[in-house]
A = this chain, B = another copy of it.
C-alpha cells in the first residue's frame, strides 16, 4: 500500500531531526548521528548531503582522532551562513543580536530603555540595529527570521503585548510595529521573556536533558517559563506562566495587578528592597547591594533575604506540587537571591512540597546568563526551519 505524500514527509522529518540535533549539540560525527537518531549509515549520509546542498550544515574530517581507521566525518551547523535576528525588550534596555544556527551569538548590540519609553520608541532602535547588521551580513548568508522576547504577556498569534507592567505597557501592538519597521518578508515571532529563557536553558543550558523544567525570572516582577513533558506550557492565548500573580498571602500587600498577596509582592524587588531598608531604590544594582550587605553581616539585609527566601520556597513548593519538575532555575535577580538564601528556600520547599513531587527536583542557577533571552528569541525563529529544513 502506498500512502500519498508520506515518503517525502518522512524524509523532511528526518532532515529536521538531524538538523535539530546538530543545532542543539553542535558538531557531531556521522557515527554518533547514526547511533543517536536510530537511522542507518547510508540514510545519515544521504540526509547530510541534502542539508549540505541546502547550505545548512558542513562536513569535514575531524582534526584529530584517537581511533585507528578512517575517522567518521563531522557534521556541523553553518553558524556563519544561517542565522536569525534575536531581539529583546527588557525593563531597562533593548538588545539585538544576530544568532547563528547552533545558537552562536555572532554580533550583538544594546541601548538603554529609559522609563516611559513607548512601544514605537522601543522598536525604533531595534530596527536600526537590525538594519546595521543587515549591511554587514557576509555574502551568501541567509536569514531565517526574527524572534523577539518581551518582558510581558504576549498574544501568541500576532505578538500583541497585552500587559507588561514592569515596562509600563498595556495593549501595545509591538509585533505589528516591529514588522512595519523591519520591512521585508522575514518572519517575526514574539514571545515572553521568561518563556524564551526557559527554551534556551532547556536546549543548551542548566536544563539540558530535562523534560520538566520551571525557569523563574525575577526583576521588578516575577514570571516563569515552564516546560512540561518536553514542551513549553504557554496556554490558550500564550499567557501562561504568570506565577508572580499566584496568590500566596491573601491577607498580604496589594499588588499592582489589582489583586492582593501575589507571590511577587513577597519575593519581588520591591519587597526585598523595602524590607532591607532601601525602599527608595530600584533595579538590579540595588538588589545586588542587599545581597552584598547580607554577606557582609548587615542584619536588616539578612532579615530581608530570609523573608524573601522563605516565600520563594513556599511558591516553589506550590509549583513543584503542580508540575513535579526535575529542575527549577532561578534567573534574573532571583539568581542572586537564591545564591545567598538557598538554605531558606530549600527548607520551605521541603515543608510545602509533597515528598514524591520534590524528591528529584534540583535547584539551579542559569548557565547562559543574559544571553538566554537572545538565544531563546533566536530559537523562536529557528523553530520553523528545524521543523522542515527545506522550507523556503
Which residues of A come within 8 Å of B, CB atoms? 1-4, 6-7, 9-11, 14, 39-40, 43, 46-47, 50, 153, 155, 162-163, 211-212, 224, 226, 228-229, 231-243, 245-251, 257-259, 314, 317-319, 321-326, 351-352, 354-357, 359-361
A236 partner residues in chain B, CB cutoff 8 A: 211-212, 324-326, 360-361
- Going nearest first, the 3 A-B pairs with the smallest beta carbon separation are A235-B324, A6-B10, A242-B321
6 A–B contacts, CB within 8 A, in A order: A3-B7, A224-B322, A239-B324, A242-B324, A248-B248, A322-B322
CB distance from A5 to the nearest CB of B (A): 9
One complex includes copies of this chain to the number of 2
Please tell me which one of the listed residues B162, B324, B326, B355 contacts residue A163 in the complex, with CB atoms under 8 A apart.
Answer: B355
A318 partner residues in chain B, CB cutoff 8 A: 245-247, 318
User: Given the complex of chains A and B, what is the CA–CA distance between A224 and B226 in angstroms?
Assistant: 18
User: Given the complex of chains A and B, what is the CA–CA distance between A258 and B351 in angstroms?
Assistant: 7
User: Given the complex of chains A and B, what is the CA–CA distance between A250 and B50 in angstroms?
Assistant: 59
**Beta-carbon contact of B246 and A249 below 8 Å:** no
A229-B239 in contact given A6-B11, A7-B6 (Cβ < 8 Å): no
A233-B235 in contact given A163-B356, A246-B321, A318-B246 (Cβ < 8 Å): no
User: Given the complex of chains A and B, what is the CA–CA distance between A238 and B212 in angstroms?
Assistant: 11
A7 partner residues in chain B, CB cutoff 8 A: 2-3, 6-7, 10
Known: A153-B357, A163-B354. 10 other contacts (CB 8 A): A3-B7, A7-B7, A153-B354, A162-B356, A228-B235, A237-B360, A239-B324, A246-B246, A247-B317, A248-B248
User: Given the complex of chains A and B, what is the CA–CA distance between A351 and B262 in angstroms?
Assistant: 11
**Beta-carbon contact of A245 and B352 below 8 Å:** yes
Please tell me which one of the listed residues B4, B356, B359 contacts residue A43 in the complex, with CB atoms under 8 A apart.
Answer: B4
User: Given the complex of chains A and B, what is the CA–CA distance between A14 and B1 in angstroms?
Assistant: 12
User: Given the complex of chains A and B, what is the CA–CA distance between A215 and B2 in angstroms?
Assistant: 41
**Beta-carbon contact of A3 and B39 below 8 Å:** yes
**Beta-carbon contact of A239 and B163 below 8 Å:** no
User: Given the complex of chains A and B, what is the CA–CA distance between A228 and B235 in angstroms?
Assistant: 7
**Beta-carbon contact of B4 and A11 below 8 Å:** no
CB distance from A296 to the nearest CB of B (A): 30
A3 partner residues in chain B, CB cutoff 8 A: 7, 10-11, 14, 39, 43, 46-47
CB nearest neighbor in B for A249 = B250
A361 partner residues in chain B, CB cutoff 8 A: 236
User: Given the complex of chains A and B, what is the CA–CA distance between A259 and B163 in angstroms?
Assistant: 34
CB nearest neighbor in B for A319 = B322
A47 partner residues in chain B, CB cutoff 8 A: 1, 3
**Beta-carbon contact of A354 and B321 below 8 Å:** no
A246 partner residues in chain B, CB cutoff 8 A: 246, 318, 321-322
CB distance from A350 to the nearest CB of B (A): 10
Please tell me which one of the listed residues B228, B242, B243 contacts residue A228 in the complex, with CB atoms under 8 A apart.
Answer: B228
A9 partner residues in chain B, CB cutoff 8 A: 10
A153 partner residues in chain B, CB cutoff 8 A: 354, 356-357
User: Given the complex of chains A and B, what is the CA–CA distance between A361 and B325 in angstroms?
Assistant: 26
CB distance from A389 to the nearest CB of B (A): 14
CB nearest neighbor in B for A263 = B318
CB distance from A107 to the nearest CB of B (A): 34
A40 partner residues in chain B, CB cutoff 8 A: 4
CB nearest neighbor in B for A165 = B354
Please tell me which one of the listed residues B237, B241, B357 contacts residue A235 in the complex, with CB atoms under 8 A apart.
Answer: B357
A245 partner residues in chain B, CB cutoff 8 A: 318, 321, 352, 354
**Beta-carbon contact of A352 and B259 below 8 Å:** yes
Please tell me which one of the listed residues B46, B155, B235, B360 contacts residue A323 in the complex, with CB atoms under 8 A apart.
Answer: B235
User: Given the complex of chains A and B, what is the CA–CA distance between A6 and B239 in angstroms?
Assistant: 37
